[in-house]
Amino acid sequence: MTEQADFVIIGLGAMGSAVLYQLAKRGAHAIGVDRFAPPHRMGSSHGETRITRQAVGEGGDYAPLVLNSHRIWRELEADTGEKLLNDCGVLVMAPGTGPTSHHGKPDFVARSIEVARDFGIKHEVLDGAEVARRFPQFLGLAGNEKAYYEPGGGYVFPERCISAQLNRGSQLGAQIRTGVEVLSIDQHGMVRIETSSGTIQAQQAVVTAGGWTAPLLGAPFDRLLTVNRQVLHWYELDDLAAYGPDAPAFVWMHGATDVDYLYGFPPLPGDRRIKVATEQYETLTTANTIDREVDPAESAEMYRKHVKGRLAGATPRVTQTAACLYTVTPDRGFIIDRHPRYDRIFVVSACSGHGFKHSAGIGDVVAEQLTGGSNRVDLTSFSIARFE
């Protein structure tokens, strides 16, 4: 028997849980399906924390999404009593001279400042000497670094955000099916979704399958999306003195290229460790074949190249690691658009390693479009057509 639904959301990670919650809030009949049981450690949304910056140096087109995300997380915190967003502040720092590149954009600090000014986001522009004075966790600064400090930024708890949206969505009437894999999706009039436990026919579907998007949808996504393995490391701190209550999350470019950088988080309350990571774009993987084990040599190299001499109290002792998927487009931007051949299938993913902060806002704008609401956010920059 074929089940009928208004909306089916395929994948319930960061993006899918947000779309499901927003559809349920609008009273829509929505079914969410996931091959695992989110939040889980198999995709792109695990590892305790994700940085959020409101003035995103990736570009002003993203700002309405993240600003809306912050509003939604506060709303969810009030509804659920869960702490989702810690606005401990965020610092973005680059060398004082020479070119820099981050998430495919040059001059990321200057771009962040520009977006902050355009959107009236509270911020300060600092040099390295001022950073060293105010935030003693950062060591070895030359003094002439350029830094953007945003007191309203910080980090979110990704697993809690996903759970909160799924729980609220379910309370509002959405159906959630975990341990169910979508095997194929097609449109002949309605959308037909074959799953490991039967067929669903939907008015519209949303594919939020993260690293599995290309294998599920094929062309043109198999040409546009690549998947990179990224690693998170938790290093023990032998001294917490430099990490006061206002210690910010940080993005620290210390060289000219996209990989000359580290980002990290202040220790969580009661924890004596610092979580940090860098990025790599050279080695490709797939969501099904990624090596989820982290070799101790990887953490040793991360420490030697990026952590040593830069973070107060950080020792090379690692107590936890995680491997995670970045699903990346050619311009390191997002795809939030209808499928080029199927107008009833919306694709929301490929968030190129910087999507979590926008996810709640993306859920809102997508649900609005699916239910025929007004276009409050211009999604042109996230179209598939830009790659043609």
Ligand X SMILES: Cc1cc2nc3c(=O)[nH]c(=O)nc-3n(C[C@H](O)[C@H](O)[C@H](O)COP(=O)(O)OP(=O)(O)OC[C@H]3O[C@@H](n4cnc5c(N)ncnc54)[C@H](O)[C@@H]3O)c2cc1C
Q: How far apart are CA 160 and CA 164, in angstroms?
A: 6
Show contacts with ligand X in window 188-217 (CB under 6 A). 208-210, 212, 216
> If we measure between CA atoms, which residue out of 342, 321, 327 comes closest to residue 229?
327
Nearer to ligand X among residue 57 and residue 132 (C-beta): 57
- Burial class of residue 249 in the structure, from the number of CB atoms within 10 Å of its CB (0-12 exposed, 13-18 middle, 19+ buried): buried
Please give the helix or strand (H or E) that residue 179 lies within, else none: none
Of 33 and 224, CB closest to ligand X: 33
Would you say 210 or 267 has its CB closer to ligand X?
210
Asked if residue 12 binds ligand X (CB under 6 A), the reply is yes
Per-residue tokens: 154: 């910080």
Q: Which is nearer to ligand X, 132 or 360 (CB)?
A: 360
Residues 53-92 that bind ligand X (CB under 6 A): none
Report d(CA 302, CA 322) in Å as an integer. 13
DSSP-derived 3-state class of residue 26: coil
Q: How many residues interact with ligand X (rule CB under 6 A)?
A: 39
3-state secondary structure 333-384: CCEEEECCCCCCEEEEECCCCCCHHHHHHHHHHHHHHHCCCCCCCCCHHHCH
Longest dimension (CA), the chain: 68
The reply on whether position 15 binds ligand X by CB under 6 A is yes
Residue 164 in contact with ligand X, rule: CB under 6 A: no
Residue that has been written with the tokens 């899918």 in this structure: 16
Of residues 330 through 349, those in contact with ligand X by CB under 6 A are 349
Of the residues 91, 116, 126, 182, which one makes contact with ligand X according to CB under 6 A: 182
- For ligand X, the binding residue among 353, 368, 383, 386 (CB under 6 A) is 353
User: CA nearest 73: which of 193, 201, 165?
Assistant: 165
Report the residue number, 123 or 229, with the smaller CB distance to ligand X: 229
Residue nearest ligand X, CB atom distance: 13
Q: How far is the CB of 9 from ligand X (least distance, A)?
A: 9
Pick the stretch among 27-35, 95-103, 254-262, 338-346 that binds ligand X (CB under 6 A): 27-35
Note the residues at the interface with ligand X (CB under 6 A).
Answer: 10-16, 33-36, 38, 42-45, 47, 50-51, 181-182, 208-210, 212, 216, 230, 232, 277, 324-326, 349, 351, 353-357
